[in-house]
Amino acid sequence: MALALFVATVPEAVGQGTDPYAKPRAALIAELREQSREGAGTATRIDPAVLAILARVPRHEYVPASERDNAYENRPLGIGHGQTISQPYIVALMTTLAAPRAGQDILEIGTGSGYQAAVLAEAGAKVHTIEIVEPLAKQAAQRLRRYPGVEVRNGDGYYGWKERAPFDAIVVTAAASSIPPPLVQQLKPGGRMVIPVGSSFFTQTLLLVEKDAGGRVRTRQILPVRFVPLTGGP
């Protein structure tokens, strides 16, 4: 299957004029801060720097017009084509676990609306994001034009993006039945991958996969989650 590549290169102003979403966005950040504080352990706490990023990214611009009034509720929302934009707490947690830093190369599998890619880009990372549903890939590329360091590709994320590998971090926003070997191979030594894994919607677990300097892989369970399934692959 031919792959289409969309490169986000046109800067765009954000938040000009009065922002009618400022109050609900602030309320969401306060809710996430409290939810993080009440977390069962350090693995489920949110980095305050990540909360600051979520406070800057306009989530309402990454959802359908019919969902904009719900954009700052702490829950997933439908974006069409059987896909969703993840719950803000999960976006914040996955970003915290990925630990993006300026200048890093990060692979995202499952662009969806483009929201998670925007959050990673706001951390200063170069984001290479793959979406298997072509209309969503095209929409996300338009939304992400403000970030020169973001590339959007229409293709099968199971196999990663070999031409851009290796990656400092990989963020997978759809549940795989097992960890895809190509993604492990494309992870740098010292890198980390955040991925939901489970054979059914009700048995998924968010995993943190870390590769040490010697190439050995360690996997840690974080918490139960529910994601749309990862499509494609063998």
Q: Which of 36, 66, 86, 177 is catalytic?
A: 86
77-82, long-range: CB within 8 Å, 24+ apart, which pairs? 79/112, 79/113, 79/136, 80/135, 80/136, 81/133, 81/135, 81/136, 82/228
Residues 230 and 176 sit within 8 Å (Cβ to Cβ): yes
DSSP 67-78: GGGGTTSSS-EE
User: Percent helix, strand, coil in the chain (nearest 5)?
Assistant: 35, 30, 40
Query: Token pair for residue 61?
Result: 């611009």
199 is catalytic: no
Length of the chain: 234
Query: Token pair for residue 19?
Result: 């922002």
Cα-Cα-Cα-Cα dihedral sign, residues 120, 124, 130, 131: positive
Question: What does the alpha-carbon distance between residue 151 and residue 178 come to, in Å, rounded to a whole number?
Answer: 26
Catalytic residues: 86
